[in-house]
Amino acid sequence: MAHRPDNEPTALYRLYDANDTLLYLGISWNPDARMELHLIDKHWVHLVVRRTVEWYPDRPTALAAEAAATAVEKPLHDSSWRKSRVGDRPQWVNPEGQKRVENELAAEIEQGRHWLGKVLMSGAVAKRFNVSRPTASNAMDVLHERGLLERWHYGRFRVLKGPDKEDMEEFKEVREDRKLRRAYQIWTVAELREAMKDLPDDTLISARLSGRRAGLPEQRAAEQHDPEHAHAPDSL
C-alpha cells in the first residue's frame, strides 16, 4: 500500500483478543481500511475482539511510537521484535479454519452447488469463511489433491466435479427471463396510449424504438400470412 504524505495525521492501533492479549499493533492513516485488509490476509484476525487507536500528528512520530511499543509490549503476531530464537517466531497457520474451509467447500462441490469449471478465488473464499488468504489457499490445495479442484492460476482454482453451468436452476431462470424479454411487441404511439389508458400510474413499462414489428418468430410468421391476426396485446 502506498504511503500518504509524512505530514498527515497517522494512527497507532492495537488489536486484542478475548483474554486481552495484544495480537498485533501497527500504524495507518486509515485504521478502518487497514482492518479490512487484515480480515483478508491475517490468519488470526478472527480472534480480535477489541481495538484501540492513538493518533499522532505525522507519520514519523507514529513510526517512532510503533517501534517503542513493539519493543516493550511484544505483540503476539509481530515477529519484528524476535531476532535470535527461531522457535519463538509465531506459527502462521490456522488448522481449525483450514479444516472448516476444506469440509464445507468439499461438501458444496459434492452437492453440486458449484458448476463444472467454475473458478474459485482464494481471496473470495478467505473473506467468505473469515480466514486468511494463505489458510484458504492451503485448504484449496488439499481439495486439489482430492481431485475436487484444479490449480488454474495464481490464487485461482477450477471446480472439477459438478453439473454443467447451463443445467443449474439459477441459470435456467436467467435464460427464460431473457427469452421473455425478447418476445415483446413494438407498437405505435397511438396503440401504446390506448393500451395504457387503464393502467395504474406506477406500472413499469419497457419499450424499444424500431422501424419494424418485433415478436417471436412464429408470431411474425402468422401475421405475414394473416394480417388480421396482428393486433396489440391487451396489456404491457
- pTM, to two decimals: 0.41
Give the model confidence (pLDDT) of 138-182 as tens digits. Answer: 899 999 999 999 988 778 999 999 898 887 766 555 454 454 444
DSSP state string for 11-47: EEEEEE-TT--EEEEEEES-HHHHHHHHHHH-TTGGG
- pLDDT of res. 44: 83
Crossing angle of helices 122-129/133-145, nearest 10°?
110
Question: Strand 50-56 to strand 10-16: parallel, antiparallel, or no bridges (unpaired)?
Answer: antiparallel
Report how far residue 207's alpha carbon sits from residue 211's, in angstroms, rounded to the nearest whole number: 13
Mean pLDDT score across all residues of the chain = 77
The single-letter DSSP state of residue 185 is: -
Widest distance between CA atoms in the chain: 93
Report how far residue 149's alpha carbon sits from residue 17's, in angstroms, rounded to the nearest whole number: 34
